[in-house]
Amino acid sequence: MGWCPFCGRRAGEEEAWAGGPRRCACGAWLLGGGPPGVMAPEARARWEEGARVRRFQRQADRVCALILREDVPQADIALARAGLRETCARLFPDRLGLYDMIYESRFDRLWRQFREPGA
């Protein structure tokens, strides 16, 4: 029996993934003959892209949470925003323009809504 590293699903007795390439229910191709759960290259690339996106999203959510907390100084928020932009440049260098358009405007809007006097 094996497990899919893409979705974590375990193969049952009737669908053992040894012996040749098999497709998991999640769509990942699993290579047979190797360790259980070896992922086909295209599935691994999708999984790694998803992992980068999830990591980036967690960091973006953290910046939003910092803006919403009144006890966090503006300097700490500015550092977190700069760190997120740096992460975007490292993980998705071709998407910095999209980052500026979506995330920086979102952070500015949250700041105006929750941090400016009279908001």
Which tens digits make up the pLDDT trace of 51-100?
899 999 999 999 999 999 999 999 999 999 999 999 999 999 999 999 99
Q: Say whether pLDDT at 43 is over 80.
A: no
User: Which contacts of 110-119 are long-range, i.e. CB under 8 A and separated by 24 or more positions?
Assistant: 110/64, 110/67, 110/68, 111/67, 111/77, 114/67, 114/68, 115/67, 115/70, 115/74
- Report yes or no on whether pTM surpasses 0.75: no
In which element (H, E) is residue 30 found?
A: strand 29-30
Q: Say whether pLDDT at 1 is over 70.
A: no
Q: Say whether pLDDT at 17 is over 50.
A: no
Q: Using CB atoms within 10 Å of the CB of residue 60, give its burial: 0 to 12 exposed, 13 to 18 middle, 19+ buried.
A: buried
- Chain segment 92-110, per-residue pLDDT in tens: 999 999 999 999 999 999 9
Rounded mean pLDDT, 38-58: 81
Rounded to whole angstroms, the Cα distance separating 71 from 87 reads: 25
pLDDT value at residue 107? 97
